[in-house]
Amino acid sequence: MKKIKKVIIIMLAIVIVWLAFFIVDHLRATNEQKPIFTINSIMYDDGGSVKYTGLFYNVYKVCIFEDDYETRNFSWHVVPWFYSLDRIKKEIITS
């Protein structure tokens, strides 16, 4: 009984720590700031898009050009780890 209780407590602690990482990075991305608990994994050659990889999630800083192709806007997106940049850009275009 004591062993099961310890395992449950450890698993619960891991989930709470992961949730804290995710929430902090999500809040920073919503405020257009670089996430803390991720690593910079890919820099794309599309004008400035960047992929940050966290634990089971990705944070994308997506570069979007305006009509004149000189003005760049950036938007931040926190998505599951299996989303690609192309999928996010398609969602931005269709919305």
Span 22-40, pLDDT tens digits? 999 999 999 999 999 999 9
| Domain interval for residue 80 | 2-94
Q: What is the mean pLDDT of each run of 10 residues along the chain (95 residues)?
A: 92 96 96 94 88 95 77 87 90 80
Element of type H or E holding 9 = helix 2-30
**How many structural domains comprise the chain?**
1
CA–CA distance, 36 with 55 (Å, rounded to integer): 12
Q: Cβ–Cβ contacts within 10 Å for residue 45, how many?
A: 6
pLDDT of residue 5: 94
Task: Judge if pTM exceeds 0.75.
Answer: yes
